[in-house]
Amino acid sequence: MKLKLLNDKVFKNILIITTSIVLLIGVAFFITLILESTSSISKFGFKFFTSTDWDPVFEKFGALPFIVGTLLTSFLSLLIAFPFTFAIMVVLGEYFTKGFISEVLRYLTELISSIPSVVIGLWGLFFLVPAVRFFQITFGLQPYGVGIFTASLLLAFMIIPYAASIAKDAMRLVPKDLKEAAYSLGATRWEVIKQVMIPYSRSGIVAGILLALGRALGETMTVTMVIGNSHFIPKNLFSPGNTIASVIANEFTEATGDLYLSSLIYLALVLFLITALINLLGKYILKKIQINH
């Protein structure tokens, strides 16, 4: 009995120490970003968020085009990915929970998530960009090929496994008694999915979407290769643009001036704040869903 209590106490202390270390690293990360971007913060202040200028030669820096590009690509990729995520969720969560087909689909989904982003970027550059350019020529649009839409397509492809995996697991946790009760009342299989399984597992579905959104916000290499790297606010979804992550990746090694480097770190701080804000909003939504559920 004493040995068990001792083991429990040791385990509890290990958990407390581990959690404290993680929190300290997070706080240190945030403080480091603030300290390293002090020069840019003191010079530009809040104007950094609203300015569209990005001119290292004249030391004029503004984050608005990159904030717009980040939010556009992230949320557009979610819209594109959602139908495929929903299909995978239903197929693996209800129709093929076991067996050969289930294993094959699960393996393919996991394989997509393990492909290096640079490989996906190269595929997008040599296959998707020409395809989008052909589409643009066909409909009389500017034939960029690269741009917000192309980057969003690739991001959608990358985030589908993250959202689908959690949503599928949530679907499988629906109690069998609930489904059998619905069937006994004469509900069809689709009605059980629509009126019982999806409402019951909606918190898991939302959690998967939030995880996918976090992945899309921070993706760097794939987006950098196909977004067009333009420092202007996109005129439409097919225009070239830039995200916060892509501009940092492109220009960090070229930042020779102190203010230039400070502005890039300020961008990193902005991305950190956007991600934190969206996560807080997501937790609030999840909490509301669980309360209503």
Instruction: Look at residue 204 and tell me if it is in a domain.
Output: yes
Would 53 be classed as within a structural domain?
A: yes
HSE-up (13 A, CA, CB side) for residue 189: 5
Query: Which pLDDT score is estimated for 293?
Result: 57
d(CA 78, CA 216) in angstroms, rounded, equals 8
* Domain count within the chain: 1
**What is the pLDDT, as a whole number, of residue 184?**
84
In order, the DSSP letters of 4-21 are HHHHHHHHHHHHHHHHHH
Measured in whole angstroms, how far is the alpha carbon of residue 147 from the centre of its chain?
18
Question: Which pLDDT value is given to residue 1?
Answer: 53
Token representation of residue 156: 């959608």
Residue 250's domain spans which residues? Answer: 37-292
Q: Note whether residue 75 is domain-resident.
A: yes
In 91-236, alpha helices (H): 100-114, 117-123, 129-138, 148-172, 176-184, 189-192, 198-200, 202-218, 221-226
- pLDDT at position 18 is 85
Rounded distance, CA 51 to CA 66, Å? Answer: 11
Query: What's the average pLDDT block by block, 10 residues per block, for the chain (293 residues)?
Result: 57 80 86 92 91 90 94 94 88 78 78 86 93 91 91 93 84 83 83 84 83 87 92 91 93 87 94 88 73 59
Query: How far is 81 from 210, CA to CA, in rounded Å?
Result: 13
2 is a domain residue: no
The pTM is what?
A: 0.87
Residue 258 lies in a domain: yes
Q: Is the dihedral of CA 250, 216, 115, 81 positive or negative?
A: negative
**Per residue in 26-64, is it b (16+ CB within 10 Å) or e — as a string?**
eeeeeeebeebbebbbeebeeebeeeeebebeeeebbbb
Query: How confident is the model at residue 289, as a pLDDT?
Result: 65
Confidence at residue 103, expressed as pLDDT on a 0 to 100 scale: 80
Residue 282 lies inside a defined structural domain of this protein? yes
How high is the pLDDT of residue 174?
A: 81
- What token pair was written down for 119? 């490989």
CB atoms within 10 A of CB 256: 8
CATH classification at residue 167: 1.10.3720.10
* Residue 31 in domain: no
- Please give the pLDDT value at position 292: 60
In a domain, 1, yes or no: no
